[in-house]
Amino acid sequence: MRHSIIPVFIPHQGCPHRCVFCDQRTITGVDRPPGGAEVAALIGERLAEPRRAATWEIAFYGGSFTCLPAAWQEELLAPAKAALDRGQINAIRLSTRPDAIDRETLARLAAFGVSTVELGAQSLDDRVLAAAARGHTAGHTAAAVAAIKDAGLKCGLQLMPGLPGEDWISLIATTKQVLALAPDFIRIYPAVVLAGTELAAMAAAGAYRPLTLGAAVARAAYLKNRCENNGIPAIRVGLQASEELSGGAVLAGPYHPAFGAMTEAYLFRIMVAGLLEKIGRPPGEMLIRHHPRDASVVRGISNANLLYWEKTYRLAGCRLAADWPRRGEIAVFHRNLTYILNKAMLFST
């Protein structure tokens, strides 16, 4: 039995802004706003599916939910609350902007049974937020996280490495602030250039250069690893693959359907590379024992990690054995020595 999400997309509705990267219609694949009756029908359809879930959660994504007029928020939430009260679903979550959270709003959300609020924080660098025309500051995000926690709700932060003006120094500072805010979870969506956005115009004019796939993977991996090592799970890394995103809506930038797996593979790549740097560049063979469920990310997409280690460090060969008991950890056997490495050892700052 599994946890199932019933997603309700609210494209651009309620949002008074137009961030440079945003085309909610493309990201969500929806351009018509729903009403309460549609939400009720959607819940009914999903609950009637023969494949049962252990737990159900309704999620209002896209747009900025709490920027909608209060009556519209209540219309959308009412069928979700009714299903919650009947015991048909287990939770309600929604996403919104950091500057669209106040006490009155949180009281409304709590009254309608909302248990999780996700904030589109994107960055905690005011310079980057201004360049992305977000219309809010890092201070708004900090205040919103505190208010959501005070209201007894769970809080998630959505972060977007690679926005205009962001560099490693900015990302590291953002990461430190995220750790200090201690959200319940994060999602990482690297910035990509979507057709019809201001970012597309900036890229065409040479005023913005998106991250390469490799650079985006490195930044996302850092952010994810630092958060997870501090007890903040990254519940999503990379945009959800969709026909629109794969079919030409992404003009440039680090979109890849396997971005999350690439990020995880990168962490294993640098774990072993760091060890090989320390012990020199000896020829010979190496054996890596890993957990069976880490097999693909230890190996890397199309064996990219194996090839990288062999070529860069002139190893005669690298064998893998899927028999290590702990996920996220590997045992490297090299020249009669054993090294235990895990993701908690990476990125102390």
Interface positions with ligand SF4 (CB under 6 A)? 12, 15, 17-19, 22, 24, 63-64, 97, 120
Q: How far is the CB of 205 from ligand SF4 (least distance, A)?
A: 20
DSSP assignment, residue 132? T
- Name the 3-class secondary structure at 256: coil
Q: How far is the CB of 5 from ligand SF4 (least distance, A)?
A: 19
CA angle 280, 284, 288 (to 5 degrees): 85
Tell me whether residue 166 or residue 329 sits nearer to ligand SF4 (CB atom).
166
Contact yes or no for 65/94 (Cβ under 8 A)? yes
- Within 12-101, where are the H helices? 24-28, 36-47, 70-85
Tell me whether residue 62 or residue 328 sits nearer to ligand SF4 (CB atom).
62
Q: How far is the CB of 338 from ligand SF4 (least distance, A)?
A: 48
Tell me whether residue 18 or residue 149 sits nearer to ligand SF4 (CB atom).
18
Tell me whether residue 159 or residue 218 sits nearer to ligand SF4 (CB atom).
159
CA 16, distance to chain mean position in Å, is 24
The Cα 186–Cα 99 span in angstroms is 18
Contact yes or no for 114/66 (Cβ under 8 A)? no
Tell me whether residue 119 or residue 275 sits nearer to ligand SF4 (CB atom).
119
Q: How far is the CB of 24 from ligand SF4 (least distance, A)?
A: 5
Q: How far is the CB of 178 from ligand SF4 (least distance, A)?
A: 18
Q: How far is the CB of 12 from ligand SF4 (least distance, A)?
A: 6
Tell me whether residue 59 or residue 346 sits nearer to ligand SF4 (CB atom).
59
Tell me whether residue 197 or residue 225 sits nearer to ligand SF4 (CB atom).
197
Q: How far is the CB of 249 from ligand SF4 (least distance, A)?
A: 15
Contact yes or no for 13/186 (Cβ under 8 A)? no
Tell me whether residue 162 or residue 328 sits nearer to ligand SF4 (CB atom).
162
Q: Name beta bridge partners: 92.
A: 58, 114
Three-state SS letters, 185-207? EEEECCCCEECCCHHHHHHHCCC
Q: How far is the CB of 107 from ligand SF4 (least distance, A)?
A: 23
Report how far apart, in Å, the C-alpha atoms of 5 and of each of 90, 112, 189, 233, 250 are.
10, 18, 19, 18, 26
DSSP assignment, residue 277? H
Tell me whether residue 44 or residue 196 sits nearer to ligand SF4 (CB atom).
196
Contacts with 81 (C-beta within 8 Å, 6 or more apart), sequence order: 92, 112, 113
CA angle 99, 102, 103 (to 5 degrees): 170
Radius of gyration (C-alpha) of the chain in whole angstroms? 22
Q: How far is the CB of 192 from ligand SF4 (least distance, A)?
A: 13
Question: H/E element holding 139?
Answer: helix 138-150
**Phi, psi dihedrals of residue 295, rounded to the nearest 5°:** -55, -50
